[in-house]
Amino acid sequence: EQVNISQIVRDVIRSLSTAYQREIKFYHETEQDITISADRSKMHQALYILVDNACKYSEDTVIVRMQDIQDQLAIDVIDKGEGLSEAEQQHIFDRFYRVDKARSRKAGGTGLGLAICHGIVQLHGGKVHIESQMNQGSTFTITLPK
Ligand code: ATP
């Protein structure tokens, strides 16, 4: 199925900015909307998980950026929240892994979100990558073949 991934990102942003009453900026750094071959609802779910976490584990504006990098599509989800240590980053995509902090316990959840996101992106031939610093924030990047 050919899907407009730019539109999926806009839909995810619209519903989560309403739910969290949060500013979520979208920098669409390509001239036109991008269409890829993908499962629409799975792709929506993968993006929803990342943007939902960014809202859940931070308090400021969340940024989503979409770029063309050679023949790849890169989607960054950037938050200025609590961040993750190197050790935590190692386990972040494992099923049921949750960082043992009062904050994440309070936020609720099962620790399945990122494992599901990772699985969906892999199914589409892509990758999920994390860059994070404690108390500075996190950037989760999905790269997908176009
Ligand atoms: P759910 O399964 O409902 O999404 P969850 O948020 O606990 O629950 P994951 O999405 O898999 O599960 O995230 C795993 C853990 O990673 C979280 O408990 C949280 O501690 C940490 N985490 C995820 N995203 C972020 C983020 N953007 N900033 C800081 N910590 C994060």
The whole-angstrom separation of Cα 117 and Cα 120 is: 5
Residues with a CB atom less than 6 Å from ligand 1: 49, 53-54, 57, 79, 81-84, 92, 97-99, 104, 109-115, 138
Per-residue pLDDT band at 19 (split at 50, 70, 90): very high
Among 26, 29, 22, 32, residue whose Cα is nearest residue 9: 26
Question: Which atom of ligand 1 approaches the CA of 79 most closely?
Answer: 27
Question: Which atom of ligand 1 approaches the CA of 93 most closely?
Answer: 11
How is residue 139 written in tokens?
């950037």
What pLDDT score was predicted for residue 108?
Answer: 67
ipTM: 0.95
Among 47, 50, 58, 49, residue whose Cα is nearest residue 23: 58
Q: Which of 16, 79, 104, 141 to mutate to test the pocket of ligand 1 (most atoms within 8 A of CB)?
A: 104
Query: pTM of this prediction?
Result: 0.94
